[in-house]
Structure 1
């Protein structure tokens, strides 16, 4: 289970970390944030199973964060507060938080809350497995659930060499999987296990789609085995994660370039080192993050010069430039002329 702790007081986060029985509940701390906004970004990027958050924080408060977390129904939330406040408690209940704990946090209370989260997550997983029921008879259904747990372990442990022998165990159901409809349903259910894991790891899973039709159970196993093997081999290497990272980084810049953002802001947004972001971006696009941001700003500036009545100072300010002379200098560097000369050329050409 993956955990994120959000609290603006570092000492409070340290106390929580010391009190939690990480090994007992198989909990992995994947991130900490000292405010709600950074915490939300971290949640969106890392997809934790459990979030522990304080209620009173600067910027995005715990109350606001709980409202945002309603779009992540699978995340279990533990709320902490230094105030015995009914409004806080009511909001925690409304947001379906697992527990509302008053500071100072006690060891038995935080671990009881963690245990409840773990139990609820396991129950949710069982419900998902049950809702994807393939076989009507209980004994076949129970055997299939056992098989799925084995397959999930192969995925989690990233064992491509174990894919074929594990999927081969499906032969035990050959007498039950006796129609084209059953084969399609079984294939979709199995590939969904892989898609869910990739989603939780914030990786692209759109390519994990059944492409070949299968006439028999044997054919279906042969068709999906290389899909599982290749994906597990890939995610054991950094390439697939990097592909997801660079797409998200470029999209982030495209959406925020008009603000005064820098390489620091981009790397902070994705909880990656500046060096990693810089190296990955240059390798993919053959230019630096700073160069790309500047290029986007100048392209937008040129478009505004052509199509709007804004002054050059207003355009510069709108694109995050506080120094008008720096804006002029960068514009001329990109286009080989000043904004005024550019506008005149555009006017003449039209």
Structure 2
């Protein structure tokens, strides 16, 4: 549902724009009305609408000023309505990225066409944004996968090789660097320093990243619920799992599944 804000100082026109348009037909809803540019600017900042329909000539602050002060920051789409004598304002509107410009008296057939064009543009922008986000997530995922390369590199000391194998074989358990330290009778400080030197990661960071790689693989298969995946990859606390997952992938497990 697209949020619409109507900014118009003439009461009769403002009401006409609200009640003479079947907004739901275009998946839109008028969330608020403003009586001038100052009022409109405040409501844009508070409501962050998807579409702003505004008159140009208004008291206190005109429509162009309102657009200049808000559009770059809130990135909404705008429809401008004005009289013939204000047509020069169209040039300024175009520079602000406004392509829908209607003259008074309003032709509602033209308005309906403008709304269709605007909603299609918004939908395309959202689709591209979703694609870009998915592409970003994919890059993050491949960045995580790069960690696995360390498991098969040969230029590692004996201890680091053992630590990587330990993570690979025991990531689903409750493990720590202290466990490795106890097993090899070598201090945790030395082990962590060697691990960081050869992998660029601390032991715990690598462990968590590897667990998230495995979690992503399981979520993609779709055979397990999120809390089951969390438990399987070594997180007993689901909330903590969600925090770590978001830290490394940029999205929550639920949002990952939705995408």
What's the TM-score, normalizing by structure 2? 0.55
| Structure 1 CA distance for aligned equivalents of residues 242 and 4 of structure 2 | 32
1:101 aligns with 102
Paired position in structure 2 for 1:206: none
Question: Alpha carbons of 1:120 and 1:178: their partners in 2 closer, same or farther (altered >3 Å)?
Answer: closer
Q: In structure 2, how many angstroms separate the alpha carbons of the residues matched to 1:39 and 1:108?
A: 25
Q: Which residue of 2 aligns with 1:79?
A: 80
SS in 1 for 2:75: coil
Change (3 A) 1:85 1:134: closer
CA drift of 1:44 comes to 0.4
- Aligned counterparts of 1:31 and 1:181: Cα–Cα separation in 2: 47
Partner of 2:144: 180
3-state DSSP of counterpart to 1:105: coil
| d(CA) in 2 for partners of 1:129, 1:110 | 28
Paired residues in the alignment total 164
The answer (yes or no) to whether the contact 2:3–2:51 under 8 Å persists in 1 is yes
- Measured in 2, the distance between the counterparts of 1:78 and 1:41 equals 18
The structure with the largest alpha-carbon Rg is 2
CA contact (8 A) 1:84 1:102 kept: no
Secondary structure, aligned partner of 2:130: helix
1:17-28 to structure 2, matched below 5 A, reads: 17-28=18-29
Aligned to 2:215: 219
Displacement, 1:229? Answer: 9.1
Q: Work out the CA distance in 1 between the residues paired with 2:94 and 2:33.
A: 24
Q: For the structure 1 residues 58 and 181, does the alpha-carbon distance in structure 2 shift closer, same or farther, using more than 3 Å as the test?
A: farther
Cα-to-partner distance string for 1:240-291 (whole Å, 9 max, x where unaligned): xxxxxxxxxxxxxxxxxxxxxxxxxxxxxxxxxxxxxxxxxxxxxxxxxxxx
- Distance in 1 between the 2:253 and 2:130 partners? 22
Task: From the superposition, tell whether residues 45 and 135 of structure 1 become closer, same or farther in structure 2 (CA, over 3 Å).
Answer: closer
Shift of 1:69: 2.7
Q: 1:111 to 1:72 in 2, by over 3 A?
A: farther
Q: Deviations over 1:37-82 (max 9, x none)?
A: 1110100011100000000000011121121133236200000112
Change (3 A) 1:229 1:131: closer
Partners of 2:144 and 2:213 within 8 A in 1: no
* Cα separation, 1, equivalents of 2:135 and 2:64: 41
Gaps of 5+ in 2: 148-206, 217-225, 231-240, 247-251
Structure showing greater relative contact order (alpha-carbon pairs closer than 8 Å, 6 or more residues apart): 2
Q: Aligned equivalents of 1:100 and 1:74: distance in 2?
A: 17
Secondary structure of 2:78 counterpart: strand
> Where in structure 1 do 4 or more consecutive aligned residues deviate above 4 Å?
225-231
Gaps of 5+ in 1: 142-176, 184-211, 232-350
